Amino acid sequence: MPAIARRNLFHDKVKLIMALVGIVFSVALVTLQLGLLIGAMRNASGIIDHAGADVWVMQKSTRNLDLCDVMLDRRYYQAVATPGVAWGERLIVQFTRWKLVDGRQENVEIVGLYPNSRLSLPWEMVAGNRDRIWAMNGVIIDERERVRFGNEGLPLSLNEQTEILGRAARVVGFCRGVGSFTTSPYVFCDYKRGLDFSGMTQRQTKYVVLKARPGVSPEELRDRVRERLTEAEAYTADEFSRKTRWYWMYGTGMGIGIMFGAVLGVIVGVVIVSQTMYSATVERLREYGTLKALGMGNFTLGMIILRQSLIAGLLGYVMASALSYYMGTCLPAYNVPLHVPPALVGAMFFVTVGICVSASITSVLRVFRLEPAMVFRS
């Protein structure tokens, strides 16, 4: 039998374009919204996920990585003395202010690393050297912030002098892919310098990060630390990562907002494709009635409509995926926390099929109810 679905679809090019616009808009919107969600979540917990520590020790009542109260520095000694600890380090993560050359100030988030830190932070350097932060008041910032933190249109450059909370600092490197959930970028520096940059004293710290000895699981070590440090809280890296993501995504409502946008994208897609398919079906009702009169069953007719929708969906999916992939590679350079992994693109195929099947239902039902006797009516 001729490919009625395909021929019908391509015969009416205006309707095809309308359906494609609906599908591309919808699928791209959903992909980008979910890409933003994934990107924002990655940013929110990127420091925890990349640091390489097994257990994070912090002041009780800590809600997430970025919003943490100070704790006494002696917790460090108590924590590293816990049986099963291979090594431990102090770590500062603290909001502070960076003064630009023209006098403006920008919020940043200091990440103070202990000398010769074994933490994998920052995890990718594109210029300069991480070791220089311990020698010359050095700071490292993500390369995407160079324009924002530059001077009169000139991007921030290596060895440029700056000022953080009234203390001199020098840019000694640029890293890549270290985004922040907030608008304040992470700035890596020496631990002691970080105390100065964040207004803390040497008797205070923010986190103690621990590595478990071989044979000791992060959960075991966490439990041992909790028993030993009843005034502090300890989480495995995975737990703290989830806690941080959960806070920013759902505690603040931002994640729900992004998800709402994705759901809206699905609804818009279903409505546009459904309207287009229904209008195309109604225009061809006499043809469907003729096919019924000629002996075609409802199942076959339904499959013709569904196939039309799925062909349009497949075309739209390919276009939307290309668009989303392109945006996923371009927008992060402009500090948009967009991450479109292949798995998301693959999952969107099933979302597209869902949109197309849902959009076909009204058309299929209309044809099911069609009386074949209508073919003799003028």
Partner 1 sequence: MAETATHSGTAVRVYDLHKSYREGAHALEVLHGVNLDIARGDLTLLMGPSGSGKTTLLTIMGLLMKPTSGRVELLGRDVTSLDESALPALRRRHVGFIFQNFNLLGALNAAENVEVVLGLQGVRGRAARKQAMALLDQVGLADRWSHLPDEMSGGEKQRVGVARALASQAELILADEPTGNLDSRTAAQVVDILRHLAHTENRAVLVVTHDLGLQEHADCVVRMRDGTIVEPHDGVAA
For partner 1, the binding residues (CB under 8 A) are 1-2, 4, 7-8, 10-12, 284, 286-287, 289-297, 371-373, 375-376, 378
Helix or strand or coil: residue 110?
Answer: strand
Crossing angle of helices 4-11 and 13-51, rounded to 10°: 100
**206 or 292: whose CB is closer to partner 1?**
292
Nearest approach, Cβ of 301 to partner 1 (angstroms)? 10
- Residue 89's identity, in one-letter code, is E
- Are 59 and 69 contacting, i.e. CB atoms less than 8 angstroms apart? yes
* DSSP element (H, E) containing 29: helix 13-51
Residues whose CB is less than 8 angstroms from the CB of residue 15 and which lie 6 or more positions away in sequence, other chains included:
276, 279, 280
Nearest approach, Cβ of 309 to partner 1 (angstroms)? 16
User: Cα(6)–Cα(308) distance, rounded to whole angstroms?
Assistant: 6
**150 or 372: whose CB is closer to partner 1?**
372
Nearest approach, Cβ of 19 to partner 1 (angstroms)? 15
**30 or 280: whose CB is closer to partner 1?**
280
**341 or 372: whose CB is closer to partner 1?**
372
Nearest approach, Cβ of 372 to partner 1 (angstroms)? 5
Nearest approach, Cβ of 13 to partner 1 (angstroms)? 11
Q: Report how many helices (DSSP H) and strands (DSSP E) the chain contains, helices first.
A: 10, 12
Nearest approach, Cβ of 353 to partner 1 (angstroms)? 24
**61 or 378: whose CB is closer to partner 1?**
378
**112 or 289: whose CB is closer to partner 1?**
289
CA distances from 285 to 12, 211, 282 (A): 15, 69, 5
DSSP 328-372: HHHGGGGT------HHHHHHHHHHHHHHHHHHHHHHHHHHHT--G
